[in-house]
Structure 1
Amino acid sequence: MMTQIRNVLEIFGIVFLRFRYLARIWNVWLVGVNMGCLYFIQHVEAQVVLATTLIAVVGQGVIYNRIGFTRLLGITHIMWVPMFVWMGTRLEAIAAQPELATWLAVLLATNIGSMIIDATDVRRYFRGERAPHYAW
């Protein structure tokens, strides 16, 4: 358990302290928008975002523990796809709550942007760019 916590803290340390400036800003935005779920935590959609985020972070910690900070870390964001598909079945309930709907729209746009970056990184990983490119 302590190793997993250390791994996650190292990942966040790399992302927030070692990435280039624009990548750092992007990741602060990405994490901030996803953590917006805490503001809306009374809604089931926000609870699902929190659970999905925690599962993804744990998955990243496992990957990081095994192979370091590689381009493969973003593969865990694939869990956003079923999350958003499920939310698509709740559009009427979401639309009835304008603040929630606005946050979820920003979340969707942000996470799609991240998944485009992630898909590129994962493809590069499977094409041979497997060396860790950051270390704590």
Structure 2
Amino acid sequence: MNDLLAAWQSDVARQPQWVQHWLDIMVIILGGFSIVFSLVRVEARWVLAGFMLGAITMLGLYSQIGYSRLLGLAHVIFWTPVLVYLLRRRDRWRVKETWSGKWIILAVTTLTISLVFDYTDVIRWVLGAR
């Protein structure tokens, strides 16, 4: 497992700086903050579950195929339902009243931006861009 994570970190380090920063932002917003807010919000528990399942699946895919556009499939599979769930609950976010409501806006924005990249990557992979 340590070798797999070291290889992943090495491949990520070869990506453009903005990609590395984007990955850090996703980990903080979808991973770190969702842990904190999962104590008070069911939405955060869904985000955390989707984040963890996506990460585990992505590492599994990575161990089989390496660093590829197809890795976005893990996000497509697990983050799309989470985003739909969050959007269906938007009348309960309480953005003005709570920090967790403000975090949900960040999470939805982060998920949406990531999924645009992920769907694009998976479609490009299917069309032959490896």
Q: Same fold (TM over 0.5)?
A: yes
Over 6 Å off, 4+ runs: none
Moved more, 94-103 or 26-35: 94-103
Alignment of 1:71-86 (within 5 A): 71-78=69-76, 79-86=78-85
* Preserved CA contact (<8 Å) 2:83 2:112: no
Choose which of 26, 29, 33 in structure 1 pairs with 2:25: 29
TM-score by length of 1: 0.79
Counting aligned pairs with the same residue, the percent is: 27
Give the secondary structure class of the aligned counterpart of 1:47. Answer: helix
Unaligned regions of 5+ residues in structure 2, if any? none
1:13–1:98 distance in 2 versus 1, CA, 3 Å: farther
* Preserved CA contact (<8 Å) 2:4 2:63: yes
TM-superposed CA distance for 1:111, in Å, is 1.4
Distance in 1 of aligned mates of 2:16 and 2:65: 22
Structure 2 equivalent of residue 40 of structure 1: 37
Distance in 2 of aligned mates of 1:64 and 1:50: 21
Unaligned regions of 5+ residues in structure 1, if any? 131-136
* Preserved CA contact (<8 Å) 1:8 1:58: no
Choose which of 47, 53, 56 in structure 2 pairs with 1:55: 53
Higher relative contact order (CA 8 A, sep 6+): 1
TM-score by length of 2: 0.82
The one-letter amino acid paired with 1:104 is I
